Amino acid sequence: MPGEFLTACKFYFSAGDITDKFIKEISGLGIENTPAQEVHGSSKQGKLSRQATPTVVKFTNITIKVIATDDIDLYKWYQDCNEDMGDPRKWSDNRKEGSVVAYDQKGEEKARWDIKFCYPCKYTGPTLTASGGDMANETIELVHEGIKRVK
């Protein structure tokens, strides 16, 4: 019998000291290994040799959309990793171990994806409109060195 189905609305993201955010959406938890599928050669009587062979694993960037508040730590993290304001970029020093956790209806952790050495490569501030009633959102895109589902 399968376990409890997880709803897509009970989840959380954290990375190092980046916590206590109101997360609106997380996407891009992906791993890809596109195999080499070309013809490798021709043998006697012109018989072609083909084999699907694994290649290098690629990790898709993770996009996280949060409800904007007066807290600027996501922007500061992006700035610390990317902007060159005379000092060398410090992205290597600012990479963080992160995780995405899904919860069941009782609020207990049921699924976890650990993210290895992530840092923001893109920051997008909110779209503000005078006639809008939506909450302001900030978006960061994370590059990383691996995702592993551990639970």
Q: What is the domain-level CATH number for residue 129? A: 2.30.110
At residue 100, the pLDDT reads 95
88-108 per-position pLDDT tens digit: 667 778 899 999 999 988 889
Within-domain flag for 118: yes
pLDDT band at 80 (very low <50, low <70, confident <90, very high): confident
Question: So what's the pLDDT on residue 85?
Answer: 59
59 in a domain, yes or no? yes
Say what the pLDDT of residue 72 is: 92
The count of structural domains within the chain is 1
Burial call 68-81: b when 16+ CB within 10 Å, e when fewer: beeeeebeebbeeb
Taking 60 as the threshold, does the pLDDT of residue 86 lie above it? no
Has residue 1 been placed in a domain?
no
What is the C-alpha separation between 113 and 30, in angstroms, rounded? 10
Kindly state the DSSP code that residue 79 receives in the 8-state scheme: H
- 85 in a structural domain: yes
Mean pLDDT of 76-91: 76
The pLDDT of residue 39 is 65
- The domain in which residue 23 lies consists of 11-149
